[in-house]
Amino acid sequence: MTDEDRSAMVDRDQVLDIERVKKHLDMLDQRLDNIDSMVSAIAERVMSQPVALNITCPSCGKNVEIAIIGSEKPIK
């Protein structure tokens, strides 16, 4: 193989790697958008009705209740 063939091969590999990275970044961006949508939907539900969390302390075994109450939608 000549040096030009090798450099062309390396260039093609780099282009494929860059395309693969772009594809992964697009998938990550889409996943983050989906997570953002879910978190926004949950926040809206919490703001419209009370939510109670019951947690058991791993040290002492007591039950702890955390109530979250919201009466307004968050301002963007």
| Residue range(s) defining the domain that contains residue 55 | 3-68
Number of domains in the chain: 1
How far is Cα 22 from Cα 16, in angstroms, rounded to an integer? 10
How far is Cα 57 from Cα 2, in angstroms, rounded to an integer? 69
Assigned domain for 15 exists: yes
pLDDT confidence of residue 3: 66
Quick one: which of 35, 41, 42 has its CA closest to 53?
42
Assigned domain for 39 exists: yes
Confidence of residue 20 (pLDDT cuts 50, 70, 90): very high
Q: Is the pTM of this model over 0.75?
A: no
pLDDT(73) > 60: no
